Chain A
Amino acid sequence: MFTGRQPREFLDTKILARLAGMPLFARRAMQGNVSGKHTSPHRGASVEFAEYRKYVPGDDLRRLDWRAYGRSDRFYIKEFEADTNLRCCVVLDTSGSMDFGTTGTTKIQYARQIAASLGYLAVQQGDAIGLHCFADGIVKNVPAKRNAAHLSLIFDTLEQAIPEGPTQLISVLHELAETIRQRALIVVISDFFVDPAELRGCFEHLRFRKHDLAAFQLLDPAELEFTFQRPTRFLDMEGGPAIFAEPNVIADRYQTALNEYLKQLQQIVLETGVDYHRTRIDEPFEQALMRFLVGRTRGRGVR
């Protein structure tokens, strides 16, 4: 597939091979245009029986259940579930804060790995994949398509994504909720460093549009543990004012603020039904993805 090309640093073929055995399911009914692995809101021609309904003139006589007619002397049409493909839209945060990382890898690198792997998995099972990079607004917009050449475009876009500028996550999510056609799988990869109350509105908006929303919150261990010793001048990576702090003094309150934020976010994602994954970037992304895929397998079948 990638012969003759410079290998992408965010792609690991071994990991992709291992993940390939795990299908990517949608948790909600999707509206694809070809058949696929995902449940559809419409009746179709799968092997899975859905229901009987009364015959109305014009129905295909081949779908008439003769056995039922023999037993009840009435005409019934036997209907089956439809399986379709999905549109997977990866929304990637490329604001300045995504360039942060203290464990050898940055959040943007980690996000590229997740996004690329998801794209590969989607295309491999016939789903469409799109990519929306945003910072101060939507920086790059690659619509969802399902061919292999498109995947290459996605990879190129990922490779070229540069983290800079402030985050406008809220407005971007509202905008995407409207612009992406209904019933898509939207995967947001960001650090979500915004007010949780405002996030709630976004999530409800996306849910209203019948999107299946998944969120990867990328957090660095340093942000979670805040184990600095020396007095430190913290420079805002998104251009805000710098803060001078004595870690010994401020650590408690930092932890309090962080825990409060995480607690609120947890509450919101539970209430809005977001497939939320808090991910430490020192954890192998394979594990994070595996957890994501396994979780979706369990939640499959909701129509």
Chain B
Amino acid sequence: MSFLQPWMLLALPLVALPVIIHLINQRRFQTMPWAAMMFLLAANRMSRGYARLRQWLILLFRMLAIAGLLFVISRPLASGWLGATAGGGADATIVILDRSPSMQQIGTGSNSSKLDTARRQLSDALATLGTSRLVLIDSGDSSARELESIEAISDATDTGPAGNTADLAGMLKTAYDYVKANRVGRADVWIVSDLRESDWESGSGRWDALRDNFASLPQTTKFHLLAYSEPTAQNRSIRVTNVRRQQQGDTTNLLVSLSLSGDENNTAEGEFPLQFEIEGARSETTIALTGGSAEIKDHPIPIDSQLVRGWGRVSIPADTNPADNDAYFVFAEPAPRKTILVSDDPETSRPLLLAAQISPDPNVAATAETVNRDQLATIPWEEVALLVWQGDLPSAAEQKPIDAFVQAGGQVLFFPPKIIGSQQAYGLSWQPWISDDKGAEVSNWRGDEDLLANTISGASLPVGKLKIHKYAGLKGEYTPLASLDEQHPLLVRANRFTNDPAGNRDTTSLSGPPGIYFCTTTPNPGDSTLARDGVVLYVAIQRAILRGSEALGDTRSLDAGASEAVDWRAVSVNEDAISSQYGIQPGIYETSQKLLAINRSKAEDSATLVSDQKLESLFQGLDFSRVDDQAGSLRSLVNEIWRLFLIIMIVAMIVEAALCLPQKRTANEGAATP
């Protein structure tokens, strides 16, 4: 319980007033000669339990009445989660708002989503508590901005639903930066979230740094978590996994692959309706559910053969979370899959060329060519999907066109040269070769994402079967995708996009991590079995080419929040979306070159929650309190409960009066003569 006027509690010692008056009264006794001592002696001998109890009860209720009055004027708040937050004491109130799609889940028996409820609850609570400075950090852009009024939390359009996954750690970092930069005295940080693991990434190392940062602040920072961890019920989500345009004779079809998943408890079987919208034309179909979910591969939708580039949407009927009921997609003629190979070693370049030239899709042609380093200027970069670079790392001059290429979405794969130079690129440099005659094996690799991810069917790539006889060392910052042991990686992704020594990643123009990879061995048969067991090499190369060609194509599918919306025009989007929020609102957008489909990120489909213990550990050592609320809850977080204390005071006074009433004189017949 906390108080809006806590200083009134300083008057609490007044509660002792009845006792003091009682003691003073005791001191003010009168002396009287008395004849009937025998009755007084008898009265003293009698059991005095109740009489004494009554006296104490009277004192107690008097104290209770005074305490009740003091509590009434201290304006108490009924709020388990505010803890000792003395209202109005914070210099700044920082609201961290999770607007991710999962927050749009609608509560049972209401039509209010978690996000709406949270906004309303928070704005009501803050209106009661009062705040001098209100700062909002929402998951839309994770930047801090000051709000002029508390109502803006619930009313402003830019606090509404968004399609991107929240980055709670990043938002808290922003809060820390704000507190530090603005020299805020005492800050209250209110975190509103549904505790999805995808938003929290509780395993991330950033939390340790954050915890240390906040703990090292000289001023107090209190964290209040308003958690909406209610699990999903009766919810299904739709996602388009692949879209291809296929022309067979006179008919042109759009082959749409999609997956429909339901939550764990929703395992109904049967037909399920789907609505397709292609360029505004709608059609409906049904799919068969198996165990509550369904997967469709290449569902054909006939389209006009003239339509080579367009957009579409798949919708499912409304359920408890409207945010995952639509999936947007764009399609166009497949972009050319062109690979440029810069190599000075024919034995190495041959397997690479083969891997790049053989297209997995017969409808799409793949080409690859080898160029010399001095021919870089002549390469038509806009047609290239992948650059394979085997040799000394590019010099600063050579790196410029490569930077532009990567920035446009192109992928680069570096292999080590025969003779290691001292050149550095993207924060990484080759180290001397290491030989292993027996052939080192890959101890671990990332099967969940990136180039070595498992296949669609879930089978892992045979990376473990590779034998590496020679590999180069690698120095710098990177994200390992496959490692031989703890010190020696096999395949890594560069963390830095530029050679900025500060290491700041320029992500403004990138959708996701930069497509720069370093492989520490070569397909040369003397170095490794990459060429002999060619599956891994082929899949990795083809995946890199696919990513590159997707980025270079006319159309592009992006996760919400992955790219900044610059000069985007809405083609098909929720009508509530405002233009400044286009980057985080699912929908179809158009830029001068591309048609963009923005969807919620794949992580949003996972309903895993951060465990309570983990959550506690994230805020260990910090002043943290948590309250659980439900979507659609009508119960206010913060209630003024002075009425309760008023009632207590009145009851105490009535009971005190009743106890003070002189007892009915049962037998004063003694006054009369018999």
| Inter-subunit contact A243/B40 (CB<8 Å) | yes
Tell whether A234 pairs with B32 under 8 Å between CB atoms, given A249-B51, A259-B666, A259-B667: yes
Known: A224-B670, A278-B674. A253 touches B48 (CB 8 A): yes
The closest CB in chain A to the CB of B660 belongs to A248
**B 47-65 binary contact with A (CB < 8 Å = 1; else 0):** 0100110110000000000
B6-38 CB contacts (< 8 Å) to partner A: 25-26, 28-38
Partner pick for A235 among B28, B33, B42, B663, CB 8 A cutoff? B33
B residues near A258, Cβ cutoff 8 Å = 36, 39, 670
Please tell me which one of the listed residues B37, B48, B52 contacts residue A238 in the complex, with CB atoms under 8 A apart.
B37
**Contact of A230 with B29 at beta-carbon distance under 8 Å, contacts A236-B34, A250-B51, A252-B663 already known:** yes
A61-69, A201-209, A215-223: which one contacts chain B? A215-223
Nearest residue (CB) in B for A262 is B670
Distance from A27 Cβ to chain B, minimum over Cβ atoms (Å): 16
User: Could you say which residues of chain B place their CB within 8 Å of the CB of A259?
Assistant: 666-668, 670
A153 at interface, CB cutoff 8 A: no
Asked if B55 and A278 sit within 8 Å, CB to CB, the answer is no
Q: Which residues of chain A are within 8 angstroms of B54 by Cβ–Cβ distance?
A: 249
B29/A97 in contact, CB under 8 A: no
Instruction: Check A234 against B670 for contact (C-beta < 8 Å).
Output: no
Evaluate contact between B35 and A100: CB separation under 8 angstroms: yes
- Determine if B671 is an interface residue (Cβ-Cβ < 8 Å): yes
Across chains A and B, the number of contacting residue pairs, with CB separation under 8 Å, is 139
Q: Is A279 part of the contact surface with B, judged by Cβ < 8 Å? A: yes
Q: Is A142 an interface residue (CB 8 A)?
A: no
Q: Chain A's nearest CB lies how many Å from the CB of B213? A: 63
Q: Are A252 and B51 in contact (CB under 8 A)?
A: yes
CA distance A225 to B38 in the complex (A): 15
Q: Once the chains are docked, how many angstroms separate the CA of A257 from the CA of B30?
A: 23
Q: Bound complex: CA of A99 vs CA of B33, how far in Å? A: 9
The CA of A236 and the CA of B31, in the complex, are separated in Å by: 11
Please give, as numbers and ranges, the residues of chain B lying within 8 Å of A254 by CB-CB distance: 39-40, 42-43
Q: Are A107's CB and B35's CB within 8 A?
A: yes
- Contact between B35 and A191, CB atoms less than 8 A apart: yes
B30 near A230 with CB under 8 A, answer yes
Of A97, A99, A256, which contacts B43 at CB under 8 A? A256
From B32, B48, B670, contact of A278 by CB (8 A): B670
Query: Which residues of B lie under 8 Å from residue A99 when comparing CB positions?
Result: 33, 35
B670 & A237 in contact (Cβ 8 Å cutoff): no
What's the least CB distance linking B38 to chain A, in Å?
5
Report if B457 contacts A (CB, 8 A). Answer: no
Also in contact, A225 and B40, with CB within 8 A (given A233-B29, A237-B35, A252-B663)? no
Q: Does B593 contact A (CB under 8 A)?
A: no
Q: B-facing mask of A246-270, CB < 8 A → 1, else 0? A: 1011111111111111110010000
Instruction: Please give, as numbers and ranges, the residues of chain B lying within 8 Å of A256 by CB-CB distance.
Output: 43, 46
Q: Could you mark each residue 195-236 of chain B with 1 if its beta carbon is under 8 Å from any beta carbon of chain A, else 0?
A: 000000000000000000000000000000000000000000
B487 interface residue per 8 A CB criterion: no
Instruction: List chain B residues, Cβ under 8 A from A257.
Output: 38-39, 42-43, 46
Check A235–B39 contact: CB distance below 8 A.
no
Does A235 contact B665, Cβ atoms closer than 8 Å? no
A52 at the binding interface (Cβ < 8 Å):
no
Whether A243 contacts B41 by the Cβ 8 Å rule is yes
Q: Which of B25, B28, B38, B40 contacts A245 (CB 8 A)?
A: B40
A279 CB contact (under 8 Å) in B48, B55, B667, B673:
B673
CB distance from A189 to the nearest CB of B (A): 14
A224 touches B663 (CB 8 A): no
> In whole Å, how far is A74's beta carbon from the nearest beta carbon of chain B?
51
A240 interface contact, C-beta 8 A: yes
Partner of A277, one of B37, B40, B42, B673: B673
CB distance from A195 to the nearest CB of B (A): 8
Bound state CA distance, A259 and B42, in angstroms? 12
A236–B672 alpha-carbon span in the complex (Å): 25
B34 pairs with A237, CB closer than 8 A = yes
- Once the chains bind, are B30 and A232 in contact (CB under 8 Å)? yes
Residues of A within 8 A of B508 (CB): none
CA distance A219 to B669 in the complex (A): 13
Task: Tell me which residues across on chain A come within 8 A of B671, comparing CB atoms.
Answer: 221, 224-225, 280
Counting CB contacts under 8 A, is B44 at the interface? yes
B35 touches A233 (CB 8 A): no
Q: Tell me, in angstroms, the Cα distance from A261 to B669 when the chains sit together.
A: 12
Contacts of A221 in B (CB 8 A): 671
A235 and B32 form a contact (CB under 8 A): yes
Q: Would B39 and A261 count as touching, CB distance under 8 A?
A: yes
Known: A193-B38, A237-B34, A253-B51. 4 other contacts (CB 8 A): A232-B29, A254-B42, A255-B665, A277-B673
Closest 5 A-B residue pairs measured CB to CB? A257-B42, A253-B43, A97-B35, A100-B35, A259-B667
Q: What is the interface of chain B, defined by CB distance below 8 A to chain A? A: 25-26, 28-44, 46, 48, 51-52, 54-55, 662-663, 665-674
- Between-chain CB contacts (< 8 Å), 18 pairs: A96-B35, A100-B34, A231-B28, A233-B29, A234-B37, A235-B31, A235-B33, A246-B26, A249-B54, A251-B662, A252-B663, A255-B666, A255-B667, A256-B46, A257-B39, A258-B36, A259-B666, A280-B673
